[in-house]
Amino acid sequence: MTLLDVNDLSIRYAVDDGSAVHASDGVDFSVERGETYGLVGESGCGKTTLAKSLVHLLDDNGYIERGEVWFDTTLPQWADENGDPEQSVIDDPDKPVRADGKTNLAALSNKQIRDVRWRDIAIIPQSAMNALNPVYKVGDQIVEAILRHEPETTAEAADDRARDLLERVGIEPERADDYAHQFSGGMKQRAVIAMAMACGPDLLIADEPTTALDVIIQDRILEELETLQEEFGVSILVISHDISVMAEICDRMAVMYGGKVMEAGPKEEIFERTANPYTLGLKNSFPTITATDQELVSIPGTPPTLRDPDDGCRFRDRCPFAVEECHASHPPMYDVEAAESTGRVTETTDDRAHRSACYRIGELDRLRTDAVNESTWTDQTIESR
């Protein structure tokens, strides 16, 4: 069953000079219950923005330009005794609630979204290590979250639960009385994960959960997430610039570039039948993914600034396969399955299908072969725009 259904979501940041950063542009994806969904892409391509926007945690200058974020939850005040939305709410055109029980988070007010935060969607921020308040005990910070969303819980019960949660992520319960500075980096990360599970959310967003940790800890954290998922059945939206992380824990994933989803679909599909020049380039730049004997090649150039971008394919400046067509407009999502099996180029609106945004979807074999060649990437003359 679909937990999260993001439709045509565009996020912008207003900047001083009057232009806008198109940090996310017409993004579609959906996450099933119990699924681990990955967002991958180089730094600066809009992953964090996308995640934060789900619960209105954008910086002050960020705003949702358009799009919907349908999430399977009902605000307490709109719910009947089963937790489903009341019919009157569904019928009310002013309330963003659908008959299937989903609520459009993008349309909620600041006050309303606060009830969704942590209770439905918990977010482990990018630098979780600095996310603990230095002046409060770690346990108390977990208790605070519990009491916020479950005011009927007693302080002792909340405290017990906090210690229990810490224990589950491998931290001795007594350490609940410690302060953040008394924890190691990995412990802090796990404490935040424990905190994220405090209210039993349906979706856990982990933004760069492994960045800045050493390899051993990285693995442990990923295991931790997997265990939690099994235990709580929570869906996880994991964000990383490291495509190998995706390989490890995702069920499905989306590859983002320049605020756009370039390729999306089940993890195996994307890794085994990669259908987008950007994904191909990304794969080249990480070890474990492809054949061991291959040289690591990173994509030359840097991601665009996204300030009032022009119409062409976002990737074309760095794309070795760019053709005339790529300059005119950004490509739509094509069905990879169809392209591969029938050679037909068809657009798709199915969020779940393996899809890719590239005009040269019809020449997949060629793209895959050339992409393995280092020279394909390094020899190209970066077009001046």
Partner 1 sequence: MTRISGTYLAKRLVVSYLTLLVIMTLLFVLLRSMPGSFISSMITSGMTAEQIEQIRETWGLNEPLWKQYLDFMINYQTGNFGRSPTYNAPVADLMIRRMPRTLILFGATFLIGFIIGPLVGMYLGWWRGTKKDKSIFSTSLLLYSMPSFWISWLFIWVFNYEFNLLPSAYMFTQFPEFQWTAVTVMRDVLYHIALPIMSLTFIGWVGAMLIMRPTMNQVTDEGYVFLARAKGLSERTVMIKHAARNALIPVATGAVVGLAFLIDGSIIIENVFSWPGMGQIIVSSVLERDFPVAQATFFLLAVLVVIMRLLTDIVYTYLDPRIKFGESE
Ligand X SMILES: Nc1ncnc2c1ncn2[C@@H]1O[C@H](COP(=O)(O)OP(=O)(O)O)[C@@H](O)[C@H]1O
Residues that bind ligand SF4 (CB under 6 A): 277, 313, 315-316, 319, 321-322, 326, 331, 358-360
Of 64, 78, 68, 53, whose CA–CA distance to 2 is shortest?
68
Nearer to ligand SF4, 162 or 326 (CB): 326
| 121 HSE (CA, 13 A, CB side) | 28
* Residue 288 burial (10 A CB sphere; 0-12, 13-18, 19+): exposed
Q: Choosing among ligand SF4, Mg ion, partner 1, none, which partner's interface includes residue 326 (Cβ < 5 to 8 Å by kind)? A: ligand SF4
Contact 271, 73 (CB under 8 A): no
CB of 346 to ligand SF4, least distance (A): 16
The overall longest dimension of the chain from CA atoms, in Å, is 66
At CA 198, angle to CA 194 and CA 219, rounded to 5? 25
Place of tokens 């358009």: 66
One of 152, 156, 181, 291 touching partner 1 (CB under 8 A): 181
**Residue whose CB is less far from ligand X, 117 or 260:** 260
Q: How far is the CB of 260 from ligand X (least distance, A)?
A: 12
Binding positions for partner 1, 76-135, rule CB under 8 A: 114-119, 122-123, 125, 127-135
Contacts (Cβ under 8 Å, ≥6 apart) of 112 = 75
The residue among 139 and 258 lying less far from Mg ion, judged by its C-beta, is 258
For residues 255 and 265, what is the distance between their CA atoms, to the nearest angstrom? 9
Contacting Mg ion within 28-87 (CB under 5 A) = 48
Least gap, CB of 278 to ligand X (angstroms): 13
DSSP calls for 43-54: TTSSHHHHHHHH
Give the DSSP H/E element, type plus range, for residue 341: helix 336-342
| Residue 89 C-beta: closest distance to Mg ion, Å | 35
Please state the closest distance from residue 181 (CB atom) to partner 1, in A. Answer: 5
> Which region, judged by CB under 8 A, interacts with partner 1, from 141-149, 209-217, 218-226, 360-368?
141-149
331 makes contact, choosing from partner 1, Mg ion, ligand SF4, none, with CB < 5 to 8 Å by partner type, with ligand SF4
Walk across the sheet containing 20-32 and list its strands. Answer: 20-32, 2-14, 62-71, 103-104
Tokens of 12: 């912008």
Which residues in this chain contact partner 1 in the complex, by CB under 8 A? 55, 57, 114-119, 122-123, 125, 127-135, 144-145, 148-149, 179, 181, 192, 195
Which residues in this chain contact Mg ion in the complex, by CB under 5 A? 48
